[in-house]
Amino acid sequence: MGSTADSQRTSTAIERPKQKSEHLTPSCVPCVRWRLVAFIHFFLLSVAPFLATAADETLLLEDRDIATAVDSIRDADLKPHVATLASDALQGREGGSAGGQAAGAYLIQQLRQRGFSTAANGLDVQEFPGGMRNILATVPGSDARRRDEVVIVCAHFDHVGFGTQRNSRGPIGYIHNGADDNASGVAGLLEVIEAVRTLPHPPRRTLLFAFWDGEEKGLLGSKHWVSSPTRPLKQIKLVINSDMIGRLRSEGVELTGTRAARGLRQFVSEANSLEPKAHLDFTWDMRADSDHYPFFAARIPALMLHTGKHDDYHRPSDDADKLNYEGTQRLTRLMLLLALRAAEADELPAFRAESRGETKDQQCLIEQPLPAPVPRLGITWNSKLSEQRIVEITEITPQSPAAAAGFRIGDRLLRFAGYTVSDVADFRSLVVIADGEITATVQRPGRSEPLELSIRLTGEPSRLGLTWRADDAEPGSVILTQVVPHSPAALAGLKPLDRIRSVGERPANGVQFHDAAISLPINVTFERDGIVSKVLITSIANVTPSRK
């Protein structure tokens, strides 16, 4: 570009007049005009491109702005929404009923208070048969190249009214207030919208906030939107649905849909950065039981947060005073972070077609723990003496390597595989990492001199103590299928089903774990139950090579 501009400036250079004049005469006016034209041309060529670049530059949200938005979500602000939506006055919010209409009116009022006043200003009411309506609020994206891409954040606001034999667990004929199902999700969505309004500017992609009606009658609202979308379906890059987030318990929150696009589990785990972090139960189960499913069926990646069913589910006893509001606050903040991360990301992954055939049963089969490895040596020792750092054999497994090598009960291990044995934990690790053929030195009762024995250990040595597999849905990581007891990996705290994200400064891949030249200690980043952590895998710290 620079060379083009230089040639243009040369071709438009204007010769200065040879004589100066203190007064402008008619003959000088063309000179002034030429100078003005030359200046404007120079400005357009040299300065304007920089202004255009600045205008096109993506304005990313600052971490401090996102933190402020997250902090604005408080349990005290969630409670009034739940109290209103789950009050007897709304009579269970059945879709198409007077109570359902009243709930919709409350949402429209809340959205208007947040600046969504008309269709031109982001508020849309989509009516559909049965006297029901979806209520939509749109925040256009700030990036000209990304604003046509849409992230939907949603929750259904209807419930089952007085209950029927089809939709109630009884007793029927009483108001089913539905505080958890789904006043909790609606309250969270309102507070997510409020938090987005605190940002200095919108995120890059467009956010569409959707309150669905008729979910309890068969996902009617979300199905209607998918069949008559207010935005082209091809623009929808991700759907985040919250349905029943009011009963967070110690086992955590169920997270559905991470296999619908490659890398979604990692995306969700990285968003789960708040303290205390939520334990996430990633499930392959994709059932048509909430409003994420019509999007999934339309080949759009969709996630759902859900704290699980309970004794009050679809009963009149699902009341506001039974909710865990602190937990609802945590999950609402997670919803916000998921929405903002998705809206700010450079790229979002496409739908993964293989997820349509994956089931919970397959997950249970694939993720079941592998059997423990066969013991390599075959001995047990005196636990009392081990507290004194003495390994004295008390039992030998028949036909084991120890039996074949000639170990006897009462032998005390002095050296093993070239290392002095002075700690039981380190000795266990030595057995894991030792080569197949090694020597051991024992002090045998009745002998004055130590005895050296040759041993052929079973199985392969494992320097780190890991086996793993790759997964098409989780690129950039490996899934631990086995962690050998007493290995360096086990001592570092790693467990089967942990997802290794990186080893040292490098992304994880199976080749690295095969690398015999890998130097210890080394930091490993891993994810377990949606929580990302780091551990240091070290070599055996307390043993020293034997000196003969």
User: How sure is the predictor about 102, in pLDDT bands with cuts at 50, 70 and 90?
Assistant: very high
Mean pLDDT of the chain: 88
How far apart are alpha carbons 301 and 256 in whole angstroms? 11
Are both 423 and 452 inside the same structural domain? yes
For the record, the structure tokens of 472 come out as: 């098409």
Q: Residue 135: inside a domain, yes or no?
A: yes
Identify the pLDDT of residue 486.
85
Identify the pLDDT of residue 461.
85
Are both 525 and 483 inside the same structural domain? yes
User: How sure is the predictor about 262, in pLDDT bands with cuts at 50, 70 and 90?
Assistant: very high
Domain count for the chain: 3
Are both 383 and 423 inside the same structural domain? yes
Pairing of strands 206-212, 379-381: unpaired
Identify the pLDDT of residue 208.
98
pLDDT above 80 (res 15): no
Q: What is the mean pLDDT of residues 7-27?
A: 37
User: How sure is the predictor about 372, in pLDDT bands with cuts at 50, 70 and 90?
Assistant: confident
Are both 424 and 510 inside the same structural domain? no
Domain span at 118: 63-365
pLDDT per residue as tens digits for the range 49-98: 333 333 445 679 999 999 999 999 999 999 999 999 999 999 999 999 99
Q: Closest Cα partner for 82 from 14, 229, 180, 214? A: 180
Are both 323 and 392 inside the same structural domain? no
Are both 228 and 272 inside the same structural domain? yes
Q: Residue 345: inside a domain, yes or no?
A: yes
Identify the pLDDT of residue 57.
54
Are both 312 and 210 inside the same structural domain? yes
Q: Closest Cα partner for 477 from 515, 507, 511, 522? A: 507
Last residue of a domain, one of 456, 477, 493: 456
User: Quick check: 373 and 398 in contact, CB under 8 A?
Assistant: no
Are both 130 and 212 inside the same structural domain? yes
Are both 220 and 296 inside the same structural domain? yes
CATH of the domain at 504: 2.30.42.10
Q: Residue 30: inside a domain, yes or no?
A: no
Q: Residue 124: inside a domain, yes or no?
A: yes
Pairing of strands 419-420, 412-416: antiparallel
Q: What is the mean pLDDT of residues 526-546?
A: 80
Last residue of a domain, one of 456, 478, 507: 456
Identify the pLDDT of residue 58.
65
pLDDT per residue as tens digits for the range 376-387: 999 999 999 988
∠ CA(187), CA(325), CA(281), 5° rounding?
A: 90
How far apart are alpha carbons 444 and 73 in whole angstroms? 69
Question: What is the 3 state secondary structure string of 229-287?
Answer: CCCCHHHEEEEEEECCCCCCECCEEEEECHHHECCHHHHHHHHCCCCCCCCEEEECCCC
Q: Closest Cα partner for 240 from 210, 265, 219? A: 210
Three-state secondary-structure class, residue 410 = coil
Last residue of a domain, one of 365, 391, 406: 365
pLDDT per residue as tens digits for the range 429-469: 889 888 889 999 999 999 999 999 999 999 888 878 888 99
Q: Residue 384: inside a domain, yes or no?
A: yes
CATH of the domain at 128: 3.40.630.10
Q: Residue 20: inside a domain, yes or no?
A: no
Q: Residue 84: inside a domain, yes or no?
A: yes
Are both 214 and 333 inside the same structural domain? yes
More confident residue, 14 or 184: 184
Identify the pLDDT of residue 7.
36
pLDDT above 80 (res 33): no
Q: Residue 68: inside a domain, yes or no?
A: yes
Are both 404 and 308 inside the same structural domain? no
Q: What is the mean pLDDT of residues 249-260?
A: 95
